[in-house]
Amino acid sequence: MARSAGVLLSITSLPSPYGIGTIGKEARAFADYLKKAGQTVWQILPVGPTSYGDSPYQAFSTYAGNPYLIDLDMLCEEGLITKEQLDSFDWGSNPAQVDYEKIYNARFPALRIAFENFKKADQKAYLKFTRQNSKWLKNYALFMALKNKFNMTSWTEWPEDIKMREDSAVRRWERKLRNEIRFWKFVQFKFYEQWESFRAYVNGLGIKILGDMPIYVAMDSADTWANPELFQLYDDGDPIAVAGCPPDYFSATGQLWGNPLYDWDYLKETGYEWWFERIAAASRLYDITRIDHFRAFASYYSIPYPAENAINGKWVEGPRIQFFRMMEEALGKIEIVAEDLGTLTPDVTELMEQTGYPGMKVLEFAFDSGEENDYLPHKYTNNCVVYTGTHDNDTVMGWVETAKQSDIDYARSYCKMPPDEPFNWGLIRTAYESKADMAIVPIQDILGLGKDARMNTPSTTGANWAWRVDANALTEELADKLKTLSVRTGRMED
């Protein structure tokens, strides 16, 4: 991994006249800005279709792209929808926040207009896409058509025959919902068509996309519905146990995610084929793939279902190094960053050493326990990625508002911050000066924003994933400052 610097910004957080960031003009403009700022990595959040709660870590499919990210102006240019039609929808009035209810109520009617017009267009590229992606696309499109038919209820609440995917039921619903299924295939065709163009543009600037792959899939997803044998489920589809993590820094009762756990014995018997296909798909979207909650490959936290919180779970051994050795045989070398945050047990440390993947270091965690803290930069090896904070942390300036004064004083002393250096820039400078091969900073920390700009607070619902950046805040002066720091710390050539 080359010495480099990058920025963490969810695509949904970009400016847009349609209430949420997309992979259109503003995404290219941000990539241009990264180029000016001496950045060679753009880290994003997962890009799957989000479900209730709007979390990108709970998607309806591990393969499908988020319909919200499709750029509507590009559909306009293709003649699939008019500007007047787009302007007739209510996309929300606050450019600093995503209004997900309004987006939901406007986005899909707009896409359906585009779909009706697309039926008259040349279908060659669409048909090629559906053939090449038929394995996952067929299940996903039927799944979404059925969800729409059954008022978006979970598949576990569907009529028994289609819930359990009886062959006769599948064939019957495929006939009944033929047009609706085609709509969902069209949406994915447009997402992937635009994504290919977006990624080519970003890569053409010398910038890599660092994507994020949740380790678990959602219970209410096409993956779980279509492949129940991969998961720890009862015969009726209910989970035996679900995923989460024990009480920690973020939550006194742990985190109850509710995702189904993998049946690793079955996956091993099948040569981990499903998993390797999933990782291969991620590597076609991203240049570098961050695997969220990597530690679950060493041992995962199993919480008996149902549960009110994560207190009564237990650790169970995962597939460990055999999985990654077989993966490399199947797929070759893939650039991966392992999210190894939290309390690391010896089995996790051993797996990190065996794979050789770079782990993560977060400076917000570094200053609360003295010289023995493993997040302090003098403890780093080159083979890691350092962050000021992540999407799950408060912003640096928000952290300053709530941290102990002794921790703040220690951070200032350790980072050798002059009295006139803003705290956020002291941490950014320290990250850049560290020996970590890659330094990633959330755009909120570069802008010096407070807690109101936080992206996510774990174990909470309602106010997350909505923050958006003000395009006017991305000034030439700020780009010059980042570029100067990148050059001085050897993270780019002058």
State what percent of residues in the chain have pLDDT above 70. 99
What is the pLDDT at residue 174? 98
d(CA 341, CA 24): 33
292 catalytic residue (yes or no)? yes
Task: Give the per-residue pLDDT at 406.
Answer: 96
Local structure of 263: helix, strand or coil: coil
| pLDDT surpasses 90 at 325 | yes
Confidence of residue 493 (pLDDT cuts 50, 70, 90): confident
**Residues 463-484, mean pLDDT to the nearest whole number:** 97
pLDDT band at 321 (very low <50, low <70, confident <90, very high): very high
**pLDDT band at residue 461, thresholds of 50, 70 and 90?**
confident
Residue 161 resides in a domain = no
Asked if residue 169 is part of any domain, the answer here is: no
From 71, 220, 339, 394, the catalytic residue: 339
Per-residue pLDDT at 284: 95
Lowest mean pLDDT among 102-106, 234-238, 366-370, 482-486: 366-370
Structural domain for 299, as ranges: 4-119+183-488
Nearest-CA neighbor of 115 among 153, 70, 148, 171?
70
pLDDT at 480: 98
Which whole-number Å values give the CA distances from 214 to 28, 173, 292, 422, in the listed order?
25, 30, 5, 34
Dihedral through CA 64, CA 66, CA 226, CA 137, nearest 10?
A: -40
How confident is the model over 13-29, as a mean pLDDT? 98
Burial zone of 307 (CB within 10 Å; 0-12 exposed, 13-18 middle, 19+ buried): middle
204, part of any domain: yes
Q: What would the pLDDT profile of 68-78 be if each residue is shown by its tens digit?
A: 999 999 999 99
**Statement: residue 420 has pLDDT above 80:** yes
Residue 77 annotated among the catalytic residues of the structure: no
Q: pLDDT tier at 463 (50, 70, 90 boundaries)?
A: confident
Q: What is the pLDDT of residue 1?
A: 84
249: pLDDT strictly greater than 90? no
Element (H, E) at 41: strand 41-43
Alpha-carbon Rg for the chain in angstroms: 23
99 is catalytic: no
Cross-strand pairs, 387: 362, 440
Report the percentage of the chain scoring pLDDT > 90.
94
pLDDT tens-digit series, residues 146-201: 999 999 999 999 999 999 999 999 999 999 999 999 999 999 999 999 999 999 99
Residue 264 inside a domain? The answer is yes
- Report the domain count for the chain: 1
pLDDT single digits (tens) 363-404: 999 999 888 899 999 999 999 999 999 999 999 999 999 999
φ and ψ at residue 454, rounded to 5 degrees: -65, 140
Supply the pLDDT for residue 459.
Answer: 78
Q: Is residue 296 part of a domain?
A: yes
Q: Give the separation between CA 233 and CA 153, rounded to whole angstroms.
A: 19
Q: Residues 212, 220, 292, 394: which is the catalytic one?
A: 292
The whole-angstrom separation of Cα 188 and Cα 40 is 28
CA distance 66 to 465: 14
> Scanning the structure block, which residue is given the tokens 């009035």?
93
Max distance between CA atoms of the chain, in angstroms, equals 72
CA distance 460 to 400: 21
Q: Which of 32, 335, 392, 407 is catalytic?
A: 392
Q: Is the pLDDT of residue 413 over 70?
A: yes
Mean pLDDT computed over 86-111: 97
Top-confidence residue, 336 or 251: 336
What's the pLDDT at 252?
Answer: 86
pLDDT at residue 250, rounded to an integer: 64
| 332 in any annotated domain | yes
**Phi, psi of 311, rounded to the nearest 5 degrees:** -65, -40
Q: Which of 20, 113, 7 is nearest to 71 (CA)?
A: 20
Number of Cα atoms under 13 Å in the Cβ half of residue 112: 9
User: Would you say residue 93 lies in a domain?
Assistant: yes
| Alpha helices (H) in 240-297, listed in sequence order | 264-269, 273-285
| Residue 197: Cβ within 10 Å count | 15
Q: What is the pLDDT of residue 494?
A: 67
- Evaluate whether residue 377 is within a structural domain: yes
H/E stretch holding 398: helix 396-402
CATH number (domain holding residue 405): 3.20.20.80
